[in-house]
Amino acid sequence: MIEVKNIAKSFDGRTVIEDVSAVMKAGQCNLIIGSSGSGKTVLQKCIVGLFEPDAGEVMYGGQSFTKMEREAKTEIRKEIGMLFQGSALFDSLNVEENIMFPLSMFTTDPHKKKLDRVNEVLERVNLKDVNRKFPAELSGGMKKRVALARAIVLNPKYLFCDEPNSGLDPQTSLVIDKLIKEITIEFNMTTVVNTHDMNSVMEIGDYILYMYQGRKEWEGSKKDIIFSKNERLNSFIFASEFLQDAKDMRMLEMTGKIPNIRNMDHLTGGDSPAI
């Protein structure tokens, strides 16, 4: 479990995040959502320790990560895997070497054992015959899967994903989302995903934290989102008419009624229940 307590961060006097608190539980996908510039990436970087927060603290399994010495932080970091927006694969290493890197750095396992583990995680992310390929030879989706394989190769307790679907087509995004969800449940990880992809929110979001202008605007589950009356959240998540329709259809399924004054005739064939 990760606890974020009253985190604040500013750059050159400009406050980027302010007084954000959250509890991210193990075995579930915790999503940080918000529009571009809302501070979700900065919040995630504060959580993983890439940025030092100006105030507040981050707790990993009850231990204050913010107040730890470098050596203790290094120990926690060995339990963290991260999937970066641009994959962050090492250009000079091939797929096998990229995934093997954390194993070579932090274990004394023989090469054969490391290779078996590499092949195991590659299989887990549904990749075959790519061991000798270099990152430049891979598609965007394959790069993400290799990066995910590298992130989980040491069996981390915590998995962070920064915009895992950016630059991917909807179908590949779905594959990545499903992988993240499956891996989270399979290894009982605490997964934190930064995204503004609404498909991801509705697919994998167990706990959702909505950021607005550097502050926590809303938190809840994906079910709560359907019933949320927070206007900022609604206008962010259900920005298009299509998504608004989808929300209303879901609500219709769940409660048998639509709690707004929208004309739903085009969805229900004129049998819209009374509000």
Distance CA 151, CA 141 (A): 15
141 touches other proteins (CB under 8 A): no
262 touches other proteins (CB under 8 A): no
80 touches other proteins (CB under 8 A): yes
33 touches other proteins (CB under 8 A): no
| Of 16-24, 78-86, 119-127, 187-195: span binding other proteins (CB under 8 A) | 78-86
Distance CA 35, CA 41 (A): 11
DSSP class per residue in the chain:
-EEEEEEEEEETTEEEEEEEEEEE-TTEEEEEE--TTSSHHHHHHHHHTSS--SEEEEEETTEESTT--HHHHHHHHTTEEEE-TT----TTS-HHHHHHHHHHHH----HHHHHHHHHHHHHHTT--S-TT--GGGS-HHHHHHHHHHHHHTT--SEEEEESTTTT--HHHHHHHHHHHHHHHHHTT-EEEEEE--HHHHHHH-SEEEEEETTEEEEEE-HHHHHH---HHHHHHHT-SHHHHHHHHHHHHHHHSS--S----HHHHTT-PPP-
What number of residues does the chain have?
Answer: 275
Q: Which of 37, 50, 123, 235 binds other proteins (CB under 8 A)?
A: 50
Q: Which of 78, 133, 250, 262 binds other proteins (CB under 8 A)?
A: 78
Q: Which of 12, 52, 69, 91 binds other proteins (CB under 8 A)?
A: 91
Distances (CA, A) of 208 to 224, 225, 229: 9, 9, 15
| Of 43-51, 117-125, 197-205, 239-247: span binding other proteins (CB under 8 A) | 43-51
Nearer to other proteins, 48 or 122 (CB): 48
72 touches other proteins (CB under 8 A): no
| Of 104-112, 120-128, 217-225, 247-255: span binding other proteins (CB under 8 A) | 104-112
Binding mask of the shown chain, residues 164 to 203, with x at each position contacting other proteins by CB under 8 A: ----------------------------------------
* Structure tokens, 160: 């962070």
Q: Which of 160, 218, 236, 238 binds other proteins (CB under 8 A)?
A: 160
Nearer to other proteins, 105 or 274 (CB): 105
Least Å distance between CB 160 and other proteins?
8
Nearer to other proteins, 90 or 227 (CB): 90
Number of residues that bind other proteins (CB under 8 A): 24
Pairing of strands 80-83, 158-162: parallel
Nearer to other proteins, 160 or 210 (CB): 160
212 touches other proteins (CB under 8 A): no
List contacts with other proteins (CB under 8 A). Answer: 48-50, 73-75, 77-78, 80-82, 84-86, 88-91, 101-102, 104-106, 160
